[in-house]
Every structure is written in C-alpha cells, then in structure tokens.
Amino acid sequence: MKKLLLVLVGFTLFGCAASDVSTPLDTTEISGTLEAVDGLTYEFGDIDINGGIVSREFAFANQSDEPLYIYEATTSCGCTTGEIVTEAETFGPFGMRNESQSTITIDPNETFKVRISYDPMFHGPTDLGVRQRSLFLFTSAAFDGTVVRQYEGQPNFTEMSVSGTVVSS
C-alpha cells in the first residue's frame, strides 16, 4: 500500500513538473494596424439549404512598422466557422466560444485573409430565411471607430459579417 501511495505521489509530482505553464496574454498592448482591403460585410444572396457550406474571404493588411497580434477569433453561431490565412500558414477553424490562447503574429506590411464559412443545414432543414453571421477578430490594433472597435474589458476587435437568404430548392 505504501509503495502504491509513493508511486501515485511520484506520478503526480512528475506530471505537475512536466506540465506546460502558459503565461497570460497581455491584450492591452497596442501594436500594428488592421486595414480592411475589401470591406467587412458580404451578401451571398440566396443560399440553397442543400447546397453545402458557403464561404467568403476578407482581405486585411498590417500597414505599419510593428507586428499585429491576433489574440482570438470567434463566431456568432455554431453554424459559422472561420480561418485566418497567411502566406505561411492557415490557423483554425475557429468557432463560437473559441478558447484559443495562441497568439497569431502578422508581421509589418504583411497581408492576410479571414475566411468565414457558413453551413446553412447546421440548424436543420426547416431553418429558412434571412440569416446574418459574424466573426470577431480580437487584436492589438488601435481603436479607429470603423474597422477596429472597442468593447469594455476586451481587446480591440473587428467584426466581419456575411448574410444571405437560406432557401429550399
């Protein structure tokens, strides 16, 4: 019994020592810029509920001499996912209530895209009508009132929206 107890205590101590301790993110730092290259909204028009997932990419640029940090990406509904696409890598998919603690760095003068995908069948075959879904990007970009907005107690954010009318063919 004593040996079993010692083995369990040893595994517990070893497991705690080997665990990855992450440092909380400093989301108060202002760094980089977030320029929307082609707008923040997109209208799909009619979306066939049986037609599969529809997607739209939004282009952005960090037109500064400082890196831009993306702390989090989250969507407004489970039927919507997002990805951040850089030249080197694709991050995501991100969904509703994203718990990611990974920071994505966008280098100075680098461009990237945010891909939003909407699944019209997610809520079932009778979920027809006008739908609008959003992706929120929380970043280190300075508040500008247009592309970058503020919400009390959170990093500055940018909202991209897609909308359309879900129809049955």
Q: Give the model's pLDDT for residue 148.
A: 87
The reply to whether 2 falls in a domain is no
Domain CATH number, residue 122: 2.60.40
Total domains in the fold of the chain = 1
The arithmetic mean of pLDDT across residues 116-125, rounded, is: 97
Is 7 domain-assigned?
no
In a domain, 40, yes or no: yes
Burial class (CB in 10 A: 0-12, 13-18, 19+), 166: buried
- What letters, b where the CB count within 10 A reaches 16 and e where it falls short, cover 77-88? bebbbbbbbbee
What does the alpha-carbon distance between residue 45 and residue 51 come to, in Å, rounded to a whole number?
A: 13
Calculate mean pLDDT across residues 88-117: 90
Residue 131 in domain: yes
Q: Is residue 168 part of a domain?
A: no
Q: Does any domain span residue 48?
A: yes
Strands 54-61 vs 111-118: parallel, antiparallel or unpaired? antiparallel
Mean pLDDT of 98-116: 88
Name the pTM for this structure.
0.79
Q: Which of 3-7, 72-76, 91-95, 110-114 has the weakest average pLDDT?
A: 3-7
Alpha helices, H only, the chain: 2-18
pLDDT of residue 29: 75
Domain span holding position 32: 27-162
Q: By percentage, how much of the chain surpasses pLDDT 70?
A: 80
pLDDT at position 24 is: 42
- pLDDT single digits (tens) 5-56: 444 444 333 333 333 333 345 556 788 889 999 999 999 999 999 999 999 9
Q: Is residue 9 part of a domain?
A: no
Q: Phi and psi for 5 in degrees, rounded to 5? A: -60, -45
Query: Within a domain: residue 102?
Result: yes
Q: Please count the residues of the chain.
A: 169
